[in-house]
Amino acid sequence: MEIICIVCPNGCRMEVSVEGEEIKVAGNLCPKGVDFAKAEMTAPMRSLTTTVATSFPDSPRLPVKTRGEIPKGKMMEAMAKIRTVVVSEPKQVGDVILPDLFGTDVVATGVLAG
């Protein structure tokens, strides 16, 4: 299976094969590629960036992101939970908007002034 590493700017095209319990990786330019490929084959994770609704007419959406990564297979469920959030108080960058979404917090990446 060919995958493209997204960890660093190299964007290595790697060939990954599974032989028994061993995962073999070829084509990586750095050790990060091996770690990424193994994670992709066993438990792929992703960061999530999106927006949430607000009650402020001048700023109807607030940009947010997950502080850490969440399981790739949980993205749709994560978005369903995020869509239920409506921010009604001023927020600063880094403020927690939704705590403990699959083991990480959703935080503001923009300012919402009152």
CA dist 32 to 35, 57, 67, 84, Å?
A: 5, 44, 20, 36
pLDDT band for 18, please (50, 70, 90 cuts).
very high
State the SS3 of 3-47: EECCCCCCCCEEEEEEECCEEEEECCCCHHHHHHHHHHHHCCEEC
Half-sphere exposure of 87 (CA within 13 A, CB side): 29
Measuring CA to CA, which residue among 60, 109, 49, 68 is closest to residue 86?
60
Q: What is the mean pLDDT of the chain?
A: 96
Q: What are phi and psi of 35, to 5 degrees?
A: -60, -45
pLDDT of residue 76: 98
What mean pLDDT comes out for the span 108-112? 97
**% of the chain surpassing 90 pLDDT:** 98
pLDDT digits (tens, 9 = 90+) for 50-68: 999 999 999 999 999 999 9
Q: How confident is the model at residue 15 (pLDDT cuts 50, 70, 90)?
A: very high
Provide the pLDDT for residue 78: 98
Residue 114 pLDDT > 90: no
Q: Which CATH number fits domain 49-108: 3.40.720, 1.10.357, 3.10.530, 3.40.50?
A: 3.10.530
Give the domain ranges of the chain.
Answer: 2-42, 49-108
